[in-house]
Amino acid sequence: MGKVQAEDVVALNLSLKTTLIWHLEHNHFPPVNRIFVPTCMEAIKKVGEGRGDEVIEMPNGKKKSARDIVEGLHLESYLEMDEEEF
């Protein structure tokens, strides 16, 4: 259900930041803190550019590949967004 809701929110053409905050806070239990929004944006961009293996340091100090962040936080719907939104 979360993936469908994420796709619906993306389709509303709200700002990327706004949709990510909604997604992290409503499609995860427990909710993911909005401090992860910049990390999500970076991961989405890198995966979209074919650089999914690049490592990103997250706000909690953990390091993961961009692809792992996209998969772990269910951000696949955001890969279809226009690059200008980043």
Q: What is the mean pLDDT of residues 36-64?
A: 97
pLDDT (0 to 100) of residue 1: 42
pLDDT (0 to 100) of residue 80: 77
Q: What's the Cα-to-Cα distance from 17 to each of 37, 52, 53, 56, rounded to whole Å? A: 7, 20, 23, 18
Q: What is the mean pLDDT of residues 64-73?
A: 98
Task: Tell me how many degrees the CA angle 71-72-73 measures, rounded to the nearest 5.
Answer: 95
The pLDDT confidence band at residue 86, using thresholds 50, 70 and 90, is low
pLDDT (0 to 100) of residue 9: 62
% pLDDT > 70, the chain: 78
